[in-house]
A and B are shown apart, each in its own frame.
Chain A
Amino acid sequence: MSEFEPKVVAFLCRWCASAGADLAGTSRLPYPPNAIPIRVNCSGRVEPQWVVEALKAGADGVLIGGCHPGDCHYVAGNYKTRRRVYLLRKVLAELGIESERVRLEWISATEGARFAQVMAEFVAALKRLGPLHGNGGAR
């Protein structure tokens, strides 16, 4: 059996995290290619329903990347998202889903290395948790 490769859906704010991811790419920083990136205008636009849809549809983990505190282009989108994720993780835990599968990170446009590191950590953590969908990830 091949090693389990977690599927990650990453909702990335176009002003910061998404740009950070691009930078990681153009700088040829090595990071695991497990993420399907989805660019959003602001992390504050990410609805909990999208996160859950992603998990239901086959993702083993969901990453939300937003601007650092104080840097959100819409002033407080990232704060709202932080609170949402806090509650969402509680709900997931109650359902028996490890809350670590949903991760919120602040990543600025200049932090290509940080993006690479976050991805590496997240994928490693998901490998430890194992597949969410119970078929060993052999899809």
Chain B
Amino acid sequence: MRAKLAVYWTGSCGGCDVSFLELGPGLLDVLSQVEIVFWPALVDAKRQDLERLPPRSIDITLVNGVLRTEENAEMVALLREKSRFLGAYGACAHLGGVPALANQGNGILEAVFGPGFRPAPPFPEAPEDTPPDLLPEALPLDEVVPVDFVVPGCPPPAGLIARFFEAALSGGLQPGQVFAEEKALCEECPRVREERRISRVLRPHEVLPDPEKCLLDQGMVCLGPVTRGGCEASCPKAGMPCTGCLGPTPKAGDPALALLSALASLVRAGEEGEAAFPEENRILDGLVDPIGTLYKYAFAKYGRPLRRLARRREEVRA
């Protein structure tokens, strides 16, 4: 019997949906082994159709995108109930992803439309057609429902998608599985890493890096040491630092704090000691926008708890 598959997006860019095409002709093999029971983009699957399904009748559900609206949250709860296995597909569902950087600030509506914008229906007689409310925070999937497995990446690289389908279609899906390496990206990066001391923090546009040497050794903030392998180090190979889309290794935990720690170990301004402090600080100041840099995909998962504390206090004061 063919595995019953569902795919759903919440606040997504669509990259996760198209990423299946990166399998090329191999996609045809996958399609011949599954039955797509729900995929709003592909089959006319309205919410009622999903509601009618018996609980746990979908074998595998993949959700991509961040949870951004009330409706997103309701839909994933419904999918959870109907699915045997439910997985986070892509960095947004896994960690919040880039759109969850919005959690750092406030006032999205105002910023986009100028003060005064309030959602309203097209006609007063149709109040149900008011655009839906946004959740106060953008959330990763596992903040709302239990998640059985993760296919990480922004979007997941073809090799990991293939690995996932291999496991899923042979019935080998294990709860808790993350379809990427436990080891850090550096292990698969062809650049030579010597853990050199860093005497300046460089931004990618400020220098043309040496093609063979580790980018971190050259002073660029590369998240390779704290990020899971699995993409064959696409970004460092192309001359750009890893920004962490596969998520942190189990060892790293909070990727921003882990990398910050590594960076602090590497930075030197000549002989260590009190005399070097001001110069060290100056070098460290080269790390601008630490949130966007170190939490690019993982802010909702790791940075948000503290941000939430701070925000609550801001609200109390206001």
Contact = CB atoms under 8 A, between A and B. Distances in A.
Interface string B268-287: 00001110010011001001
Contacts of A69: 273-274
Contact of B257 (A48, A90, A130): A48
Given A49-B257, A52-B257, A88-B257, A80 B264 contact: yes
Contacts of B274: 69-70
Interface residues of A, number: 29
Contact of B264 (A49, A87, A132): A87
Nearest to A48: B257
B260 A52 contact: no
Given A49-B253, A87-B263, A96 B284 contact: no
Nearest to B307: A95
Find the residue from B261, B277, B305, B311 having the highest chain A CB count within 10 A. B261
A83 B264 contact: yes
Interface in B266-318: 267, 272-274, 277, 280-281, 284, 287, 289-291, 294, 303, 305-307, 309-314, 316
Contacts, number: 86
B277 A48 contact: no
Interface string A92-131: 1011110000000000000000000000000000000010
A83 B309 CA distance: 25
B88 interface: no
A121 B40 CA distance: 60
Contact of A84 (B264, B291, B305, B314): B264
17 contacts: A47-B261, A48-B260, A56-B309, A76-B272, A80-B264, A80-B265, A82-B277, A84-B261, A84-B264, A86-B264, A87-B260, A88-B257, A91-B290, A91-B294, A94-B289, A95-B306, A96-B313
Interface of B: 104, 253-254, 256-258, 260-261, 263-265, 267, 272-274, 277, 280-281, 284, 287, 289-291, 294, 303, 305-307, 309-314, 316
6 cross-chain pairs, A with B, having the tightest CB-CB distances, nearest first = A96-B310, A83-B264, A84-B264, A48-B257, A69-B274, A87-B260
